[in-house]
Amino acid sequence: MQDLGISILFKGINFQRLLGGLWVTLRLALLTIGLSTVLGLLFALLMLSGRRWAKFFCRAWLEIVRFMPQLVLLYLVYFGFARLFGWDLNGEVSALIVFTFWGAAEMGDLIRGALTSIPRHQTESAEALGLTRGQVYQYVLIPQTVRRLLPQAINLSTRIIKTTALVKMINVTEVLKVGQQIIGQFYRQPDAAFWVYFVIFLLYFLVCWPFSLLARRLEKRWA
């Protein structure tokens, strides 16, 4: 009698290989989240700067990332930039550029929304109480902004983690590719593919679910 297909995951270092593949996309997602937060802050400040060109520029940027599927943007940078500018970017660098371009705009819009949602009288009351400009930010504005922002920013982060799976399509060896390699080696095992893809599905779930729970929890507590 043949073993169940799931046993191949415990043969040799197959499971570690899968985790290694997952780490490729997770590392990319973490870098993207970090860069998007920094650039998103700049984006929000630019949008709130009151200059018309800046506002127009930000709106256009936001519309582009909202309208174009991320996969199209990935193709544009990975295949298109080589043709247009002669830049031969590898898959991971292209992905980092695209996801940061997308994440920064989305994060920026969240930051902008959180900042503008704080009623003006909060600042005015704080000033009336004699707080200095720095204190107003430290004790009044920043804590309230963070409370509104954090749940949404965490949700965006899970979206970024899920979206980085797309790098499979521009030839990055990530978890699905590693899975295909494992399935290829164990072609004698008919149900190998079922178990490998099932485990990848579960792995993604196990990574993203805690973030979703955390976001919901914070939202409830701070609402």
Task: Write out the residues near other proteins by the rule CB under 8 A.
Answer: 5, 66-72, 75-76, 79-80, 82-84, 158, 162-163, 165-166, 168-169, 176, 179, 190-198, 200-201, 204-205, 208-209, 212
Q: Are 114 and 148 in contact (CB under 8 A)?
A: yes
Minimum distance between the CB of residue 86 and other proteins, rounded to whole angstroms? 12
Output the DSSP codes for 46-112: HHTT--HHHHHHHHHHHHHHHHS-HHHHHHIIIIIHHHHH-----HHHHHHHHHHHHHHHHHHHHHH
Report the chain's C-alpha Rg in angstroms: 22
Q: Which is nearer to other proteins, 68 or 118 (CB)?
A: 68
Q: Which is nearer to other proteins, 127 or 191 (CB)?
A: 191
Q: Which is nearer to other proteins, 111 or 196 (CB)?
A: 196
Minimum distance between the CB of residue 9 and other proteins, rounded to whole angstroms? 13
Of 189, 178, 179, 159, the closest CA to residue 65 belongs to: 159
Q: How many angstroms separate the Cα of 210 from the Cα of each of 84, 103, 154, 180, 206?
A: 41, 20, 10, 27, 7
User: Cβ contacts of residue 157 below 8 Å, gap of 6+?
Assistant: 29, 33, 211
Minimum distance between the CB of residue 209 and other proteins, rounded to whole angstroms? 5
Tokens of 62: 């936001």
Q: Which is nearer to other proteins, 13 or 84 (CB)?
A: 84
CA distance 209 to 197: 18
If phi > 0 it is left, if psi is from -120 to 50 it is alpha, else beta; for residue 171 that is: left
